[in-house]
């Protein structure tokens, strides 16, 4: 029996993954005890093993590296726009129309 569509917080996912990774609990028995599908548990375990500190950033939140990437892309776009404006302004001042 599984809880379809249920949301689990970061702490629950981390603790559950630790039970398998660090304590050696089996996924099938944990799945049965918690009512979470084995597929979901395996996904949590894989995420935990890949990056235990940032495994579950939460809904709408990004991992720090992804947030930095988003910030840098936004900064690049702003600078490119600023550069284009300055080029147009320079062209106007260099070649004024008569």
Model confidence over 11-35: pLDDT tens digits?
Answer: 899 899 999 999 999 999 999 999 9
Q: What is the pTM of this model?
A: 0.53
Maximum separation of any 2 CA atoms in the chain, in Å:
84
Q: Are 13 and 56 in contact (CB under 8 A)?
A: yes
pLDDT reading at 59 higher than 70: no
Report how far residue 92's alpha carbon sits from residue 67's, in angstroms, rounded to the nearest whole number. Answer: 38
CA gyration radius, the chain: 25
Q: pLDDT-based confidence at 1, cuts 50/70/90?
A: very low
- Residue 98 is predicted with a pLDDT of 59
The DSSP secondary-structure symbol of 57 reads -
């Amino acid at each position: 029996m599984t809880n379809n569509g249920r949301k689990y917080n970061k702490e629950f996912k981390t603790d559950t993954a630790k039970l398998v990774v660090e304590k050696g609990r089996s996924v099938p028995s944990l799945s049965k005890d918690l009512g979470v599908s084995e597929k979901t548990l395996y996904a949590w375990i894989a995420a935990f093993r890949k990056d235990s500190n940032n495994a579950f950033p939460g809904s709408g939140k990004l991992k720090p590296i992804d947030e930095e990437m988003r910030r840098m892309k936004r900064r690049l776009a702003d600078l490119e726009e600023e550069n284009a404006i300055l080029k147009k302004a320079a062209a106007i001042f260099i070649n004024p129309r008569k």
